Amino acid sequence: MASKFIRRTQSSIKKKVQRWDMFAKLVPILILLLNFILVFFNYVDFHNAFWITLVLVSSISCAWWIWTVMTVKLVYKTLKDTEDNLMDVKHDIKEVVKDVKGFRDRP
């Protein structure tokens, strides 16, 4: 059986993935819109807009990479715990089968 912690963790990961998906769709549009406004109204020139975009995208990429590594670690731990629990269940089933065969063989 999956513990409440594992189910909560899976739900948390699903929500985070949905947020990152939404973030990945909206941020490029917002960055392009911001650059267009800044260049169009002459707040910055095209060269500076390029560097602003580079810094923003680089920062977002680093944050995303850190989140990805942490999530992969969490998924690995969840799978490892599941494997350990399944091995325990397999061992318990073998014991039950052995006990049932012992009861059946008794006169």
Average pLDDT over residues 42-67: 89
pLDDT band at 5 (very low <50, low <70, confident <90, very high): low
Model confidence at 21: pLDDT above 70: yes
0.85 exceeded by pTM: no
CA atoms within 13 A on the CB side of 40: 6
Average pLDDT over residues 37-64: 89
- Backbone CA torsion sign across 34, 39, 45, 50: positive
State pLDDT tens for residues 62-107: 988 998 899 889 888 888 988 999 999 999 999 999 988 888 887 6
pLDDT at 91: 92
Alpha-carbon span 49 to 6, nearest angstrom: 44
Alpha-carbon span 101 to 47, nearest angstrom: 80
